[in-house]
Amino acid sequence: MTEPLATGSTIGILGGGQLGRMLAVAASRLGLRAHVYEPAANPPAADVAHRVTTASYDDAAALTAFAQSVDVVTYEFENIPTSALDLIEAIRPIRPNRRTLAISQDRVEEKGFLNAIGLATAPWAAVNDAAELESALGAIGAPAILKTTRLGYDGKGQARIMTPEDAAAALTAMSGAPAVLEGFVPFTMEISVIAARALDGQVAAFDPGENVHRDGILHTTTVPARLPPARRSDAVLIAARILNALDYVGVMGVELFVTPQGLLVNEIAPRVHNSGHWTQNGCAVDQFEQHIRAVAGWPLGDGSRHSDVTMENLIGDDIDRVPALATEAGTAIHLYGKAEARAGRKMGHINRIRPRG
Residues that bind a second copy (CB under 8 A): 4, 7-8, 21, 24-25, 28-34, 46-50, 281, 284-285, 293, 298-299, 301-302, 304, 306-307, 319, 323, 326-339, 348, 351, 353, 355-356
Least Å distance between CB 224 and a second copy? 16
Least Å distance between CB 280 and a second copy? 9
Q: Are strands 189-197 and 217-223 parallel, antiparallel or unpaired?
A: unpaired
154 is in an annotated binding site: yes
All residues at 6 or more sequence positions from 172 whose CB lies less than 8 Å from its CB, including other chains = none
Which CB sits closer to a second copy, 156 or 354? 354
Burial tier of 172 (Cβ tally within 10 Å: 0-12, 13-18, 19+): exposed
158 is in an annotated binding site: yes
Tell me how far apart the alpha carbons of residues 32 and 348 are, in angstroms, rounded to a whole number: 24
Give yes or no for a contact between 251 and 271, defined as CB atoms under 8 angstroms apart: yes
Which CB sits closer to a second copy, 234 or 289? 289
213 is in an annotated binding site: yes
Least Å distance between CB 63 and a second copy? 23
261 is in an annotated binding site: no
Q: How many residues does the chain have?
A: 357
Tell me how far apart the alpha carbons of residues 94 and 217 are, in angstroms, rounded to a whole number: 29
Which CB sits closer to a second copy, 28 or 259? 28
Cβ neighbour number for residue 296 with a 10 Å cutoff = 25
Tell me how far apart the alpha carbons of residues 240 and 235 are, in angstroms, rounded to a whole number: 9
Which CB sits closer to a second copy, 115 or 304? 304
157 is in an annotated binding site: yes
75 is in an annotated binding site: no
Closest CA to 111 of 161, 173, 182: 182
Which CB sits closer to a second copy, 165 or 302? 302
183 is in an annotated binding site: yes
End-to-end CA distance of the chain: 43
Least Å distance between CB 50 and a second copy? 5
73 is in an annotated binding site: no
156 is in an annotated binding site: yes
Least Å distance between CB 106 and a second copy? 34
Query: Which DSSP state fits 77?
Result: -
Which CB sits closer to a second copy, 51 or 231? 51
Tell me how far apart the alpha carbons of residues 131 and 81 are, in angstroms, rounded to a whole number: 31
Strand partners, 52: 36
Least Å distance between CB 270 and a second copy? 23
All residues at 6 or more sequence positions from 167 whose CB lies less than 8 Å from its CB, including other chains = 130, 133, 134, 137, 161
Give yes or no for a contact between 34 and 10, defined as CB atoms under 8 angstroms apart: yes
Least Å distance between CB 171 and a second copy? 43
Which CB sits closer to a second copy, 4 or 39? 4
234 is in an annotated binding site: no
Least Å distance between CB 57 and a second copy? 24
Tell me how far apart the alpha carbons of residues 337 and 331 are, in angstroms, rounded to a whole number: 18
Which CB sits closer to a second copy, 46 or 101? 46
Q: Annotated binding residues for ATP, as ranges? A: 107, 147, 152-158, 182-185, 190, 213, 266-267
